[in-house]
Homo-oligomer: A and B are copies of this chain.
């Protein structure tokens, strides 16, 4: 088997696993199901990944790469966008979440089951929180948001991040099935929140 063909099987496994996890939840999907759907033997799958946890960890790696690529342009324009940067960040993360919906849906339990994933997620979590905190600090420094104390800035950053992180779960448990309507409602919520902290004009 050439290196290229090997790569392809590996990618196929990850993509198929992602689809199955999104549709059924990770607990209902075995490595045998995944191998079946890819049309390879279980032995061939084990050549690429030791178990389901390893597949989930590699999907998380895909998420990291895709989120860096997608978020870069927004981060670069943030200064120029003013308060809209908060809405655009929310919009980007929600669209991104759609592709990896199982991950947000099962996040606490996935981290509970796999300490290795937890270590990696912690880093990503702190990075995103810092990034949102930077948005808040920048908006306060630039006079877009009124002056609020450091503790309140941290709480505002955490509140925004939490609303962003769990919005897909909230839509799922609310039975919202129209992605775009749910997205617009979430954006209205973030706008309401951020505008409450707006500096007087």
Contact = CB atoms under 8 A, between A and B. Distances in A.
Contact of A125 (B25, B112, B174): B174
Contacts of A111: 172-173
A195 B167 CA distance: 23
Interface in A165-197: 165-167, 169-170, 172-175, 185, 188-189, 192-193, 196-197
Contacts of A192: 152, 155-156, 159
Interface in A75-111: 105-109, 111
Interface of A: 25, 27-28, 105-109, 111-113, 118, 121-122, 125, 151-152, 155-156, 158-159, 162-163, 165-167, 169-170, 172-175, 185, 188-189, 192-193, 196-197
